Structures are given as structure tokens and as C-alpha cells.
């Protein structure tokens, strides 16, 4: 019996990377899951079966596009019908695009705000009524170091993640006298497939060995010169879902190797 046995969780953007590590961490503690994200149907079916058999929990999948409010609403209804309830919501889905403000494509700005910020508003507004009815819930928003500080050429991402930290605080205040908590996690560089590709591209562009490119990337921002692991973030989510974290409310918790301490 894990610490979250009997709980049901929705994790957006959880078919790979950070989201998958969070889903695994919650399942390891006994939570039933709805996973969400894009991917080939056979791979997702295999992942769903693997999580269910490895951890002995119920796992369902929904391919809702987080840029589409109608699909988000259908996903929450699907999760509630299949799992019976939603106790834990982790808003992890995110996309990125890099360009100077004056060259930033309008459609990319709109897409990043929709997926990285508005999607969290929609999932939260849809799950809160049932959490309030049961007087228990955990909402964790995966923000970023860029929810606290900025970098050049990332206007939409930085704006969305700052907004997500602000949304987190409002929800925490509105639920302050309940047993529902809402917090944000702000990771620095995490070694995901997406970041690994950035390292490979940098190595090729600058004629560096992979390890040199990795160190150069880290040195720009992360004083520890070590990546955060997806598993580190999964463990922090599990802690925030525990009773020990019941008075952590509206926090933006950094896990960034010292990035935002500078």
C-alpha cells in the first residue's frame, strides 16, 4: 500500500520526459492515473500497460490537445468517469519556441500561452468543484525557473510561466481554508530528450564534444553544473501530495541547481 493508494491523478503531458517521471512516481505510491500526451498509439498502449502492471494501479489514457478547451473538458470528464474522481492534478504539458520579441510569430505566442498557461486554468477550474466537495486535493503546476527569472528570446514561455506562478498563488489563496493545496515547481535545466537534442545541436554547431556542449549549456545558467533529473521532480510532486506538505500553499519551489539564487 503506497502513500497515495486510493487516490486518482491526472498528469498532463505525461507520455514522455518530466511528465512520465511524475506519473511513474505517483503510480509507485499507489495512485491511479490518467496520462495524457501525444505519441504513436502502440507505444502509448504499451506504456499504459507497463505502468499498470508494474505498479498495480489503474491507468487510462486521453490524447486531449491542451490547446483546446473543449478537449480538456472532455479529458477531465473521461478521468472522472474512469477513475471515479480526481484527487491530484499535475499541469505539466508545455511547448517552447525561441525568437526575439519583434520577430516572434503571433501563432506561436498564442499556442504557447494556450498550452503553458490557459490549459492549467481550464484543468483547475474543472477539477476544483469535486475537490471542494470532498475537501481534499493537490494541484501541482510545473512552471520553470523561467517563471521567476527571464532569458532572451523566450518572451512567450517566460510570460506563460510567470503567469502560471501567479495563477498558482491565486488558487492557493482561494483554497486556503480547505484541505486543497496548489503549488508550483520551478525546474532549471532537466535532461529530457528535448534538451539532449539541444546539446547535440550545439555540439554540431560549435564543433564540441557532447560533454563539452553539455557543460557549456549548464554553465550559462545552472551553477551546480548538473542537470535536474525528471525523477527528482517526480519525488517533489509526491512530497507535495503528502500530508507533510499540507501547509505548503502557493509556493514556487525551485529545483534548479542554484539558477535563481544568482
Cα(66)–Cα(27) distance, integer angstroms: 22
d(Cα 215, Cα 195) in Å, to the nearest integer?
A: 13
Determine whether 115 is exposed, middle or buried from the number of CB atoms within 10 Å of its CB (0-12, 13-18, 19+). buried
Residue 157: active-site member: yes
* Separation between Cα atoms, residue 31 and residue 34, nearest integer Å: 10
What CA–CA distance (Å, rounded) separates 27 from 238? Answer: 10
Q: Which of 109, 157, 189, 259 is catalytic?
A: 157
CA distance 58 to 64: 19
Burial letters 185-215, b for 16+ CB under 10 A, else e = bbbbbbbbeeeeeebeebbeeeeeeeeebbe
Catalytic residues: 157
Amino acid at each position: 500500500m503506497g502513500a497515495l493508494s486510493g487516490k486518482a491523478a491526472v498528469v498532463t503531458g505525461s507520455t514522455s520526459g518530466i511528465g512520465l517521471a511524475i506519473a511513474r512516481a505517483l503510480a509507485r505510491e499507489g495512485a491511479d492515473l490518467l496520462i495524457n500526451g501525444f505519441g504513436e498509439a502502440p507505444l502509448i498502449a504499451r506504456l499504459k500497460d507497463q505502468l499498470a502492471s508494474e505498479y498495480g494501479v489503474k491507468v487510462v489514457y486521453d490524447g486531449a490537445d491542451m490547446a483546446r478547451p473543449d478537449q480538456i473538458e472532455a479529458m477531465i470528464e473521461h478521468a472522472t468517469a474512469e477513475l471515479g474522481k480526481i484527487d491530484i492534478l499535475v499541469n505539466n504539458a508545455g511547448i517552447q519556441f525561441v525568437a526575439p520579441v519583434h520577430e516572434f510569430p503571433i501563432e506561436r505566442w498564442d499556442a504557447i500561452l494556450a498550452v503553458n498557461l490557459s490549459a492549467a486554468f481550464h484543468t483547475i477550474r474543472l477539477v476544483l468543484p469535486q475537490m471542494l466537495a470532498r475537501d481534499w486535493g493537490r494541484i501541482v503546476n510545473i512552471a520553470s525557473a523561467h517563471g521567476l527569472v527571464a532569458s532572451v528570446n523566450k518572451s512567450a514561455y517566460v510570460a506563460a510561466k510567470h503567469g502560471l506562478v501567479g495563477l498558482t498563488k491565486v488558487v492557493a489563496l482561494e483554497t486556503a481554508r480547505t484541505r486543497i493545496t496548489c503549488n508550483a515547481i520551478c525546474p532549471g535545466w532537466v535532461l529530457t530528450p528535448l534538451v539532449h537534442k539541444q546539446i547535440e545541436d550545439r555540439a554540431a554547431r560549435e564543433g564540441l564534444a557532447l560533454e563539452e556542449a553539455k557543460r557549456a549549456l549548464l554553465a550559462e545558467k545552472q551553477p551546480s553544473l548538473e542537470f535536474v533529473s525528471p525523477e527528482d521532480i517526480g519525488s517533489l510532486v509526491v512530497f507535495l501530495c503528502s500530508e507533510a506538505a499540507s501547509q505548503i500553499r502557493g509556493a514556487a519551489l525551485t529545483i534548479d541547481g542554484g539558477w535563481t539564487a544568482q
